[in-house]
Amino acid sequence: METPVVWFVGAGPGDPELITLKGNQLLVGADVLIYAGSLVNPALVERSGAKVKLDSWGMSVEEMVPVMVDAAREGKQVVRLHSGDPALYGSIVEQIAELERQGVEVRIVPGVSSLFAASAALKTQYTLKGVSESLIITRPAGETLDEDDIARLSEAGTSMVIFLGTDKLSAIVDKLRCPRDTPAAVIYHASWPDQKIVRGCVGDIAQKAKDAGIHKTALIIIGGIVDPMTRYHRSVLYS
Ligand SMILES: C[S@@+](CC[C@H](N)C(=O)[O-])C[C@H]1O[C@@H](n2cnc3c(N)ncnc32)[C@H](O)[C@@H]1O
């Protein structure tokens, strides 16, 4: 008997064209689909031929895993669709651990993270000669995290992207130890038709985002790369 398999697929940041070819093939041919309903574009769910479609919002690992295990053991194509790329704030390891414990093999198809939909929206690069050679990806403390590292990390002076923090924007910027005139942006719903980009600096970005009505599903981007044109040095790559 073949080993049962569950596919974890990155759905991309929102635009339904931004799923990989492989991910799309698996989605279309799925028998069972479990998707992250709050962030996955409904067009992708509609595109799937799956007979069973379950929104994972509000489901526990204990509820999700048996559905996946039973279907995989019956030889069905099971797709677990995560927003963006599953490796960023996707809580996949706890699902993988339980699936593997029950003898199910997990295969992962990466996706385009909102991290990159945001840099595309800003027409910038996170690593830019003369501005920043490193990228910090982090999140603020909240319901599921007791303490964060934002204050200490902001001292590094590199590009910084903060997930899961739109509703805590003022508290986040208050923690930052970089100069108040450091460029900053908030990108809401990157790659969706209602995408919003707000640009400013650490000192005013929280108020600007509030004025723009942004309070969820956004990334906060901090550093000179938000305003690259006046700062960059030409790379040697195309010189
Ligand atoms: C649970 S995390 C999932 C991230 C996802 N794995 C990824 O790679 O984009 C959810 C957070 O990602 C960010 N996010 C997800 N999609 C977004 C988008 N299209 N535009 C801006 N931020 C997004 C928001 O900060 C949101 O609170």
pLDDT tens by residue, 120-169:
999 999 999 999 999 999 999 998 899 999 999 999 999 999 999 999 99
Instruction: Indicate if ligand 1 lies below 6 Å from the C-beta of 132.
Output: no
Distance CA 185, CA 190 (A): 12
Expressed in angstroms and rounded, the spacing between residue 22 Cα and the centre of ligand 1 is: 21
- What per-residue confidence (pLDDT) applies to 230? 79
The closest residue, in CA terms, to atom 5 on ligand 1 is: 84
Distance, CA 41 to ligand 1 centroid (Å)? 12
Residue with tokens 């995290």, as numbered in its chain:
145
| Whether residue 172 has pLDDT greater than 70 | yes
- Measured in Å, residue 114 CA sits from the centre of ligand 1 at 5
Distance between first and last Cα of the chain: 57
Structure tokens at 48: 């799937």
Indicate the Cα dihedral angle 96, 98, 101, 103, nearest 10°: -70
Domain 114-226 CATH class label: alpha beta
Is pLDDT above 70 for 35?
A: yes
Pair of tokens at residue 140: 């603020």
Could you give the maximum distance between any two Cα atoms of the chain, in Å? 62
Q: What is the pLDDT of residue 229?
A: 84
Sign (positive/negative) of CA torsion 87, 90, 94, 96? negative
Pick the residue whose CA is nearest to atom 24 on ligand 1: 217
State in words which class domain 5-109 has.
alpha beta
- The stretch 99-106 carries a mean pLDDT of 98
Give pLDDT, residue 239. 67
With a 6 Å cutoff on the Cβ, whether 214 touches ligand 1 is no
What is the per-residue pLDDT for 71?
98
Q: Which of 8, 83, 115 to mutate to test the pocket of ligand 1 (most atoms within 8 A of CB)?
A: 83
Indicate if ligand 1 lies below 6 Å from the C-beta of 84. Answer: yes
- Write down the domain spans for the chain: 5-109, 114-226
| Pair of tokens at residue 37 | 């309903």
Q: How would you classify the pairing of strands 218-222 and 183-188?
A: antiparallel
Ligand 1: centre distance to CA 63 (Å): 24
What pLDDT, in 10s, does the model give residues 36-75? 998 999 999 999 999 999 999 989 999 999 999 999 999 9
Separation between Cα atoms, residue 70 and residue 37, nearest integer Å? 22
Mean pLDDT calculated for residue range 112-122: 98
Which residues are bridge partners to 160 per DSSP? 136, 222
Q: CB–CB of 168/102 below 8 Å?
A: no
**16: CB partners within 8 A, 6+ apart:** 41, 43, 44, 47
Statement: residue 237 has pLDDT above 80: no
